[in-house]
Amino acid sequence: MVGTDPSDIAERLAAIGEELADLAIDHLREATAAVRAGGQPDPVLTAEEKRITRARRAVEKAVQLLDGPGRDLEAEGP
């Protein structure tokens, strides 16, 4: 992908971050439904939600690095 603009990659990563957020919310809803039903949340499910949330945060950091406010300052030069 020669010539790919970092802002294009940042946009794609932002979409992936949104998908990960949706997936984490789905896991949380499932865990809370178990609690409302009088049970305990599935520890595997909650661990998976935490792992997904960590991945989402990493993706968001990548988006900021590729398309963050510091990028505009670097483009202007000294």
pLDDT tens by residue, 30-46: 999 999 999 998 999 99
42 within a domain of the structure (yes/no): yes
2 within a domain of the structure (yes/no): no
Whether pTM exceeds 0.85? no
Give the domain extent around 58. 8-67
72 within a domain of the structure (yes/no): no
Long-range contacts made by residues 53-60, C-beta under 8 angstroms, separation at least 24?
53/20, 53/24, 55/20, 56/17, 56/20, 56/21, 56/24, 59/13, 59/14, 59/16, 59/17, 59/20, 60/14, 60/17
% of the chain residues with pLDDT over 70: 82
- Give the count of domains, the chain: 1
46 within a domain of the structure (yes/no): yes
62 within a domain of the structure (yes/no): yes
How long a stretch of residues is the chain? 78
19 within a domain of the structure (yes/no): yes
1 within a domain of the structure (yes/no): no
74 within a domain of the structure (yes/no): no
